[in-house]
Amino acid sequence: MCSTTTSLVGATNEVKATWRHANTSQVASANGGRSRAGLRSLLAVVVAAAALLGVVVYRTVASDASSATSTAHYAYGGLPSWLPRSTLATGQALAASPAHPQLGIEGDLVKVALPTGSTWATMTGPQVPPFVAPPPPYTTATLTITLENTSGVVPLHASDFALIDGNGTVYRPATFVGGRTSVEVPARSRVRVKVREYLAIGSGSIRWAPAGRPVMTWEFTVEND
């Protein structure tokens, strides 16, 4: 900034000097009968001085902008110290059982304990057909349920699932996609089944209730836009 100020002062002094020179030339031209030449000299000097002053101003603005950019630091502050700290456990899998049913969202991994065995379960989806215009109020939705790392006996029947769409309508599938009504779940293996229904657009949920006792409900959203 100091060097820029020095340049600006120097340019100002040079403009003053050129202006005095121009006045002297004009007087000499008038005395000697060379007024036209003096006028042309005056114009040339003024144009040169204006150009020099413009360069100095541009360098000053560019230098200030560069300095502001290089010294600016942006950072988020911490949370206020007076806010209460959460005591809830995070990043842990849910543990569900008939005595303690759980509520989650699509993608949540759940450790399900049943009287006859246990398994890790998750639900993903729904998958819907490609978008059409105008979007219909109902669409075909396919949900995928996956069981893995099973131990003991875990029953898996299509009739154990119930779907509720955005209008509150309850659907109870009779079969899984492919036509099977039940699926065997071998120990230490992965089993994947799909449930498909024609659901209203909006929020929905699917409930798993082995032997009629709810253990897990996953919420989801049906979208076709």
DSSP 151-178: EE----BGGGEEEE-TT--EE--SS-TT
pLDDT tens by residue, 170-208: 999 999 999 999 988 888 889 999 999 999 999 999 999
Q: Clarify whether residues 62 and 102 are in a common domain.
A: no
Looking at per-residue pLDDT, the higher value among 79 and 31 belongs to: 79
Which residues does 141 contact at the CB level (< 8 Å), separation at least 6? 125, 126, 127, 128, 196, 197, 198, 199, 204, 222
At which of 52, 68, 84 does a domain end?
68
**Is 78 part of any domain?**
no
Paired residues of 214 in beta bridges: none
Check whether residue 36 and residue 136 sit in a common domain: no
Number of domains making up the chain: 2
Give the residues across from 222 on adjacent strands: 202
Are 101 and 50 within one domain? no
Name the pLDDT band for 159 (thresholds 50, 70, 90): very high
State residue 74's pLDDT score: 58
194 or 17: which carries more pLDDT confidence? Answer: 194
Average pLDDT, the chain: 78
Q: How far is residue 225's CA from residue 221's CA, in Å, rounded to a whole number?
A: 12
In this structure, is residue 198 part of a structural domain?
yes
Last residue of a domain, one of 68, 85, 113: 68
Tell me: do 193 and 103 sit in the same domain.
yes
One domain, residues 98 and 205: yes
Indicate whether 63 and 162 sit together in one domain. Answer: no
- Domain shared by 212 and 134, yes or no: yes
- Domain assignment of residue 111, yes or no: yes
CA-based end-to-end distance of the chain: 56
Confidence of residue 81 (pLDDT cuts 50, 70, 90): confident
Whether 22 and 63 map to the same domain: the answer is: yes
Pair (50, 101) in one structural domain: no
- Which pLDDT does position 87 carry in this prediction? 77
Residue 75 lies in a domain: no
In this structure, is residue 166 part of a structural domain? Answer: yes
Considering 51, 68, 85, which residue would you say is the last residue of a domain?
A: 68
Residues 103 and 197 in one domain: yes
Per the structure, the complete domain to which residue 181 belongs is given by 94-222
In a domain, 83, yes or no: no
Domain assignment present for residue 73? The answer is: no
Rounded mean pLDDT of 117-126? 93
Residues 125 and 169 occupy one common structural domain: yes
**Count of Cβ atoms closer than 10 Å to residue 182 Cβ:** 14
Q: In this structure, are 50 and 108 located in the same domain?
A: no
